[in-house]
Every structure is written in structure tokens, then in C-alpha cells.
Structure 1
């Protein structure tokens, strides 16, 4: 619901969405938890590619990726996570932990008429995508993970110390901007419009409590038959990228794993878009053949 508190955030959201270089169709699906917004593009009869953003990032973060994937024939469905800043409205039942979160995503896909889809998730969205593939393997054809967190290793202690202030009272936008600027470090700068949207959402959007859980146990990962692409950001400060990539290769020997140079965790989908877009397209095409 638009209010004086959320109006600047929603205006920034709409402005960034307007920058997508392809026509975007705004879809909504009502579930027991509330109304979910999906920004869709690409041919309606294309194979569904569901995009799950990182915490606080909103589905608008895919502005540098959606056109390439839609142009290759995919029906791109970029979901606003319910309870997170965005245009989804969490005005129904509580998610009630990881089962509730996965049930919500399943209900969204049912509402869209998508019995099976490819999933692509960044950061926290990568963890959700992986958990959903483990939860409902028949519903996931291929799985692309972009610098996923809590999938193969935990967070660096230093990162947690930097992120802790985000959860303290007050929540001024400057705090979120400083956090993003620290994480990107000396790498490519974040898109200024997205950076500001993130800061406004952090400060002004009435988000729900984040639902998360432990990393998937090794035996659960070994049982995963879904083809996986995992791309890590060499400059990520959330974890030790090379070490996490090695863990991913060990846990999923059949997966395609790579570390992309000169890019940070938050900037990966945007600043490294040409390589990310092509790697994802190649992976989806290879897995389909």
C-alpha cells in the first residue's frame, strides 16, 4: 500500500523498473501470505526462468540481465520476495519458517501456472532457490546461483560485524549506503539508482522478519540431481570466494562452478552482466540439450 513513508521507495522502484530495456508486464499472485508481485518479460510461451533477488535488492535489480535472457526466448519472471522491500505485500499469514517460505514460492509458481521452471537466485535468493530445488526437485529444471550465501559456507565474521548495524534501530539510509560502499570496495561501482533504492527500502519499507535457515547438509546436496551453475564474485566480502567455490565443487561434482574476477557480491549481476548473462544462457542451453 502506498503511504507517505513508502512513497519515495516505490517511486524509486518504478523509476528503476522503467529502465529495463524490454517491455515489462506486472503480474500479481495472491497466496495465503499476501500478494506477490512478479515483473515478467520475454515470450509468454518461453520456458520460465524465475529470478529470486538478494535481501533488500528487489526484483528491479535484474535490469542488466532480464533483456538478454528474455531475448534468448525465456519467459523471465522476476519475483519480489514477500516480506522484503518491494511491491509484494505481506498482509496475510506469517511465513512460519523455511517450510512456509518454500510453500509461498510453490504457491506463487502454481498461481503463475508454472509446474516446472529454471531458477536463478542471487545472494539470499540463491539460498532460497537451492532450498526450493531440494524441496521440490520435480519443479526445478535448472538452477543458477549467483554468489549465493549460506549454501556452501557461512559468512565471514568480519562481514557479519559490518552487516550488524543494518539490524539496529534507527535505520537511516546513510547506514545502508555505507554498507554497500564498503562491500563493493575498490571494484566496479554500484548502479546509483539501485544503490539509492536499496537504501530507501532499508530505511522506509516495513519489511517482515527475514526467514532463513542452516546451510543444506552435505547428504542433501549429494542427493540433488538438478543441474547447477554457481558463479562466485572474486571480490565478495560476504565469504571467502575461492574457498566457497571449492566447497561447492566438492559438494556438487557435476556442477559448473566459476569465480568471476574484479567484481563484488552486490555488483555481480550488474557490473559483470555481460559474462553473467552469457554464462547463464550457455548453461541453460547446455542443460536442455
Structure 2
């Protein structure tokens, strides 16, 4: 299925239009291209940077930003190289993990942010954790929403969508991972169109070693989706309890990996606002 840019941008704007707070769109120039940031909240509030999951776009925080922006200055970032309104320049592509963190550093610099709270879902959670380990002086608090750790079963079900991207295949995959629960139609439409986004290439790296994880300085909250098919939730919870003894770990009942962050948003928002409260 060919990428329909007009339909994608329309679906993006539809979801962004559901943000219950005024939104300022900011385009940050970086060596890797222009990064779109959707900002909301009180000027001077503690900065909170939101990193979306693969293919979800920064617009996907519509059910959370209203509560988060009550006290925090929220910056929802479209990851460069993924579906969204950011645009890679081609001059310096993001090909390695070092490039990915160089890009995020450049975004934070462009926004004038020295210290931030980071919140990431799925692949965005992996980026947030990796950045907090590599840039400990920059990250105060770290919230991880079911960070990635793909099981073989998950990858096998995702294979048809990855091999021949299309909206119908994306929806079939979502129906499997979420257990067939009703999905928000605007979000599902955007995710399906995002599956055909050209040249979307996630940059991956090795899982942090136990020794590296034990060096984490940021305060950490881990929210685990009890119904996730991305990985085994009990294994993730047990491993995090061993390697991140200082972290707060909560299990979100009745939620799958791809139903975050908008399913059971009241619980997600309550956990995040409590953790981020100064």
C-alpha cells in the first residue's frame, strides 16, 4: 500500500485536535533534520518530554496531556525517522544509537532545556531509559510505559505487517495484540496509515546490561501492561525489581501494550502525576 501523505496528515491533525489544552507547535532544527514538538502547559512548569512508541506519533498523548499539562510544561516529540511531522534532512541521518541520542540532545538544546523529566512508551521507553543512562546529568525523573522487549511470538505476528506494510495488516496486528478490544477509531486510523510511512527505520541497540542498569540515577517509574503480548509482563516486572530496586513498579490491569497510553488513561495519568509531582 502506497503512503498517502494527505490522509496521514489529516489523521494526525484529527488526533491532535482532540488535545483538551491549547497546543503550540514548535519546529526544532537539528543536524538530523527538523523535529516537530507539540507543547502544552504552564510556562515555567517543570519540563516533561514525551516520547511516543513506534508509529504512534506525538499526537497519541491526547488522553494524557490534559492532566499532565496542569502542572508540567509538556513537550511531545515526533521522533525523527518515524511517522509524524518531523522531517529528516538526509545530511546527517540517524543510523546509530549515538545518532539517536545526539538528535535528542539537539532537540532539548533547541528547546532550551537543560534538565527534563522523560516519559516514553514502548520504543520511546527504550529511548528514554537509554538516554537517562547515557546523559544522567540531564534526566531528573524517568517514566517508562511498557518499554519494548519483543518476544518471538510478537515478532512472528508483526512480520506480515513489516514485510508488506498496509493499513489493513496494521489493524489485524493491533487486533491480535490488544485481544480484540475496541480501539479508538482516530488513533487506529493514524496507526494504520503510519504503517506505510516511507523510510521509517527504528534504530535499535543492545539491552542495557545489569551493571549499566544499576548506574541509573534518575528516579524511575515503570508501568507494565498486564495484557502485553510484546513481552511477558511477569518476567519484565521481576527483572526490573532485581535490577532497578529503587524504581517504582506498577502493573496496569486490563491493558495491552499497544492500547497504551490512552486505555485506562485515568489510572495512567494518576500514576504519572503522582510520580512527577514536586
Pick the TM interval, shorter chain. Answer: over 0.9
Match of 1:202 in 2: 195
TM-score (norm 2): 0.96
Q: Answer yes or no: is the 8 Å Cα contact 1:189–1:267 preserved in 2.
A: no
Q: Secondary structure of the equivalent of 1:22? A: coil
Q: Secondary structure of the equivalent of 2:87? A: coil
Whether 2:268 is the aligned partner of 1:269: answer no
Q: Secondary structure of the equivalent of 2:195? A: helix
Match of 1:17 in 2: 16
Q: Secondary structure of the equivalent of 1:266? A: helix
Query: 1:157: Cα distance to partner?
Result: 1.2
Whether 2:225 is the aligned partner of 1:233: answer yes
Q: Answer yes or no: is the 8 Å Cα contact 2:42–2:72 preserved in 1.
A: yes
**Structure 1 residue aligned with 2:72, among 53, 71, 74?**
74
Q: Secondary structure of the equivalent of 2:221? A: strand
Match of 1:215 in 2: 207
Whether 2:168 is the aligned partner of 1:174: answer yes
TM-score (norm 1): 0.93
Match of 2:83 in 1: 85
Q: Secondary structure of the equivalent of 1:158? A: helix
What's the C-alpha RMSD, in Å, of the aligned pairs?
1.3
**Structure 2 residue aligned with 1:157, among 152, 161, 164?**
152
Whether 2:121 is the aligned partner of 1:109: answer no
Query: 1:208: Cα distance to partner?
Result: 3.3
CA distance in 1, matches of 2:34, 2:51: 16
Which range moved further: 256-265 or 122-131? 256-265
Unaligned 5+ runs, structure 1: none
Match of 1:192 in 2: 185
CA distance in 2, matches of 1:271, 1:131: 26
Unaligned 5+ runs, structure 2: none
Query: 1:269: Cα distance to partner?
Result: 1.1
Query: 1:95: Cα distance to partner?
Result: 1.1
* CA deviation profile, 1:53-110 (whole Å, cap 9, x unmatched): 0000000110000010001x10000000001000000123111310000000000000
* CA deviation profile, 1:139-170 (whole Å, cap 9, x unmatched): 000000001113xxxx221111001122213x
Whether 2:255 is the aligned partner of 1:260: answer no
CA distance in 2, matches of 1:167, 1:146: 23
CA distance in 1, matches of 2:54, 2:174: 12
* CA deviation profile, 1:205-235 (whole Å, cap 9, x unmatched): 2233211111111100001111100000001
CA distance in 2, matches of 1:189, 1:236: 16
CA distance in 2, matches of 1:249, 1:196: 36
Q: Answer yes or no: is the 8 Å Cα contact 2:101–2:131 preserved in 1.
A: yes
CA distance in 1, matches of 2:173, 2:220: 30
Question: Which consecutive segments of 4 or more residues in structure 1 shift more than 2 A?
Answer: none
